[in-house]
C-alpha cells in the first residue's frame, strides 16, 4: 500500500509500506480521507531515518477486515475516528486501530468532511464537558474560533445553551458569526482582556500571550482549559480560578454523539482545502504556517 513516511520534520515521503496486521479488538480500515492536525507536523521531530513515522490521527474510510472480538462493525461499514498520536498514523491507504476508537461515519458527511471531525470535535467536547462542565447560561470565551477545535467549541457551547464569545482575525468574522456566536472579537483590533466582562470559561488552543491575558477575564471560580499546555497552576491560584491542561483521548461514544449532532444539522464542519495523499508534505507545511480556517484533509486514491 501507499503511505506517508517521515524521517524528519522536512523529510516527508510518499512511499510503499507493508499492510498492517489486524489484532484482537482491532479493525482494518481502508482510509479514504485523513484530517491534518497541528500535532501531525509537531510529531515529525521524533522521526528519523532509523525510526520513520507515518503521521496522522484522523481518518474516515471503510471497514476492510475485523479482528477477533469485534462485533460493533461489519465489512463495508463507513467509519470515522482517531488513532491518537501513534508511530503508524492515518496518512496511509490502510490502517488498523481499536474498535473503540471509531464510530460509524455521519451519513450526512462525505469522507473528506468526516475526516475533519474526530480530533477537533472530541477535543472541544472534552474541554467543554469533561473538564469545564459548561452549563446553559454560562459565558464561554473560545479563542481561535475559526480553527479546527475552535469552530466545534463555539458550536458545542451554543448547543449546550452557553453565551459564546469567539476570537479570530477580522477576515474570519463572517465565518465565526455564522457558527452562532453571541459576540465576535477581532484580536487584531480589540484587546479582548479589556473589552470583556468576566466569563465563566476560557477555551484555549493558542497559548502564549493569548493564554496569559485570559486569566484576567475569568470570574472567580471560573475555569481555564487548554489543549496546548498553557494552564498554569500558579496563575490559577493567583486569580482564584480552576485550570486544566489535557490531551484529547479517542472516544467512540463521543464520536457517536457528535455524529448525531452533525446529522441533525446542529453542528457544521469546514474543510478549507483537500490534498491528495501524495501531497501530504504541502498540507503539513500549510498547517505549520497557521491561520487555517477549519481543517485541511488528505484523500487517498480510493
What is the set of domains in the chain, with CATH numbers?
2-118+250-299 (3.90.180.10), 132-245 (3.40.50.720)
* pLDDT tens string 67-97: 999 999 999 999 999 999 887 999 999 999 9
pLDDT (mean) for 229-233: 87
Residue 302, number of CB atoms within 10 A of its CB:
11
DSSP state of 153: H
Give the confidence band of 216 by pLDDT, cuts at 50, 70, 90. Answer: very high
Give the confidence band of 9 by pLDDT, cuts at 50, 70, 90. Answer: confident
Q: Is the pLDDT of residue 30 over 80?
A: yes
pLDDT at residue 254, rounded to an integer: 98
Residues 155 and 180 sit within 8 Å (Cβ to Cβ): yes
Which candidate, 114, 107, 96, 100, places its Cα nearest to that of 33? 114
Q: Report the phi/psi class of residue 25: left, alpha or beta, with left for phi > 0 and alpha for psi in -120 to 50.
A: left
pLDDT at residue 247, rounded to an integer: 94
pLDDT at residue 77, rounded to an integer: 99
Cell of 144: 481561535
Beta-sheet pairing, 94-98 with 26-36: antiparallel
Sign of CA dihedral 95, 101, 106, 109: negative
Cell of 117: 471531525
Residues 157 and 128 sit within 8 Å (Cβ to Cβ): yes
Mean pLDDT over all residues of the chain? 96
Residues 276 and 259 sit within 8 Å (Cβ to Cβ): no
pLDDT at residue 50, rounded to an integer: 83
The two counts, helices (H) then strands (E), for the chain are: 10, 15
pLDDT at residue 184, rounded to an integer: 98
Helical residues (DSSP H) of 143-228, grouped into ranges: 148-160, 173-178, 192-195, 208-214
pLDDT (mean) for 207-223: 96
* pLDDT tens string 159-183: 999 999 999 999 999 999 999 999 9
Q: Is the pLDDT of residue 13 over 90?
A: yes
pLDDT at residue 51, rounded to an integer: 87
Q: Rounded to an integer, what distance in angstroms lies between the CA atom of residue 274 and that of residue 76?
A: 24
Q: Rounded to an integer, what distance in angstroms lies between the CA atom of residue 11 and that of residue 153?
A: 33
Helical residues (DSSP H) of the chain, grouped into ranges: 38-42, 111-114, 118-125, 148-160, 173-178, 192-195, 208-214, 233-239, 252-263, 280-289
Lowest mean pLDDT among 43-57, 104-118, 148-162: 43-57
Give the confidence band of 48 by pLDDT, cuts at 50, 70, 90. Answer: confident
Phi and psi for 208 in degrees, rounded to 5?
60, -140
* pLDDT tens string 113-172: 999 999 999 999 999 999 999 999 999 999 999 999 999 999 999 999 999 999 999 999
Phi and psi for 59 in degrees, rounded to 5?
-155, 160
pLDDT at residue 11, rounded to an integer: 92
Q: Is the pLDDT of residue 302 over 90?
A: no
pLDDT (mean) for 45-73: 94
Amino acid at each position: 500500500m501507499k503511505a506517508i513516511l517521515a524521517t524528519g520534520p522536512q523529510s516527508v515521503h510518499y512511499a510503499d509500506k507493508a499492510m498492517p496486521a489486524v489484532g484482537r479488538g482491532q479493525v482494518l480500515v481502508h482510509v479514504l480521507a485523513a484530517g491534518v492536525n497541528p500535532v501531525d507536523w509537531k510529531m515529525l521531530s521524533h522521526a528519523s531515518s532509523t525510526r520513520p513515522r507515518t503521521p496522522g490521527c484522523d481518518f474516515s474510510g471503510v471497514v476492510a477486515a475485523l479482528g477477533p472480538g469485534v462485533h460493533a462493525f461489519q465489512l463495508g461499514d463507513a467509519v470515522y475516528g482517531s488513532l491518537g498520536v501513534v508511530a503508524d498514523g492515518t496518512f496511509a491507504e490502510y490502517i488498523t486501530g481499536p474498535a473503540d476508537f471509531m464510530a460509524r461515519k455521519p451519513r450526512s458527511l462525505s469522507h473528506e468532511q468526516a475526516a475533519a471531525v474526530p480530533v477537533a470535535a472530541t477535543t472541544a467536547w472534552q474541554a467543554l464537558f469533561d473538564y469545564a462542565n459548561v452549563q446553559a447560561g454560562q459565558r464561554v470565551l473560545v479563542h481561535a474560533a475559526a480553527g479546527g477545535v475552535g469552530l466545534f467549541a463555539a458550536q458545542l457551547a451554543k448547543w449546550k445553551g452557553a453565551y459564546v464569545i469567539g476570537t479570530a482575525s477580522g477576515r474570519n468574522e463572517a465565518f465565526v458569526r455564522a457558527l452562532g456566536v453571541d459576540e465576535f472579537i477581532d484580536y487584531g483590533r480589540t484587546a479582548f482582556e479589556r473589552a470583556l466582562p468576566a466569563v465563566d470559561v476560557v477555551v484555549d488552543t493558542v497559548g502564549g500571550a493569548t493564554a496569559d491575558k485570559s486569566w484576567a477575564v475569568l470570574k472567580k471560580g471560573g475555569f481555564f482549559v487548554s489543549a496546548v499546555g498553557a494552564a498554569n497552576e500558579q496563575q490559577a491560584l493567583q486569580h482564584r480560578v480552576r485550570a486544566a491542561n489535557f490531551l484529547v483521548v479517542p472516544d467512540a461514544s463521543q464520536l457517536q454523539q457528535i455524529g448525531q449532532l452533525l446529522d441533525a444539522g446542529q453542528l457544521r464542519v469546514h474543510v478549507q482545502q483537500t490534498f491528495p495523499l501524495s501531497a501530504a508534505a504541502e498540507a503539513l507545511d500549510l498547517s505549520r504556517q497557521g491561520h487555517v480556517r477549519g481543517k485541511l484533509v488528505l484523500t487517498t486514491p480510493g
